Amino acid sequence: MKQLFRLARQFFLRRLIQQTTVDLHFDDDVMIIAPHPDDEVLGCGGLIAQASRKGVNVEVIILTGGGASHDNCCGISQEEVKRERRNLTKEALKTLGLNSNKITFLDWEDGKLPLSDHPDFDTRVDELAALLARLKPANIFCPHPFEGWSDHVAAQEITREAIKRSNVKTTFYYYCVWFWLSMPLRKSLMCDWKNAVALDISDVYVQKQKAIKEYMGPCAPCGNPWSGVLPEELMKAFEWEKELFFRVI
Ligand SMILES: [Zn+2]
Ligand SMILES: [Zn+2]
């Protein structure tokens, strides 16, 4: 029953999108900020593949190593999980046309990204702001504030503040991962739908699916994927030939 409800809400949200969106066109540098290794492919895999194909410069910033994904599972060491997940990131992004020198691993602690009221928040903002000032991306993508998952919300707060502090001239977008599963439905009416953009990724859909498999296929010795087991209904959200973004500023 719960599964049916979750699939129905995806259907409802997609209908809402079709009513309100325009396509996204971009020719300038793109930066994707991912809280964990795999968010960039799930939320922006099509965007990355299309941008790479066009010769647009793409930078991917992975904030945490994703080391906690087996903490409540088999207890395999975080170092080992991080090492494997880092290799999977390089593999999956190669499939989308990106060289590993375009990926920055900041290796912040998984599950503990600081929200704006946390004492470590400023330090993290400064670190990211320094990176933004150096790379000067024309478009920045980070997770939607309604994602629900703490690291994703914190990634958004850190990115917003880092953009302000670095003074980069950029267009800022939210992308959607847990949004499809965890956003309370009443909040869907509070989303800024007039600035929603749906990117048609049908020409790179197969590439995106291959990259997702590269992340979710290989398993740790316990038999679960290195990223942990993600809910089936969440994965269904990415069987879609579009990607949803919200333009922020
Ligand atoms: Zn994540
Ligand atoms: Zn495990």
Q: The CATH number of the domain where 49 resides is what?
A: 3.40.50.10320
Q: How many domains does the chain have?
A: 1
178 within domain boundaries: yes
The number of the ligand nearest the C-alpha atom of 35 reads 1
Expressed as residue numbers, the domain containing 102 is: 25-247
Q: Ligand 2 centre and the CA of 85: distance in Å?
A: 13
**Within a domain: 240:** yes
Per-residue pLDDT of the chain (249 residues; tens, 9 = 90+): 677 878 888 887 887 777 666 666 677 899 999 999 999 999 999 999 999 999 999 999 999 999 999 998 998 999 999 999 999 999 999 999 999 999 999 999 999 999 999 999 999 999 999 999 999 999 999 999 999 889 999 999 999 999 999 999 999 999 999 999 888 888 888 888 888 888 999 999 999 999 999 999 999 999 999 999 999 999 999 999 999 999 996
Is residue 108 in a domain?
Answer: yes
**Nearest ligand (C-alpha, residue 156):** 1
Secondary structure (3-state) at 84: helix
Is 9 within the bounds of a domain?
no
| Residue 15 within a domain | no
Contacts for 1 with CB less than 8 Å, ≥ 6 apart:
none
**How many angstroms separate the Cα of 21 from the Cα of each of 14, 126, 129, 197, 213?**
10, 34, 31, 5, 29
**Residue 90: inside a domain, yes or no?**
yes
Q: How far apart are CA 2 and CA 180, in angstroms?
A: 14
The verdict on residue 214 lying in a domain is yes
Instruction: Compute, in angstroms, the gap from residue 131 CA to the centroid of ligand 1.
Output: 21
Buried b (16+ CB within 10 A) or exposed e, 32-43: bbbbbbbbbbbb
The ligand whose atoms approach the alpha carbon of 182 most closely is 1
Distance 11 CA to ligand 1 centre (A): 22
Is 196 within the bounds of a domain? yes
**Residues, CB-to-ion distance under 5 Å, ligand 1:** 35-36, 39
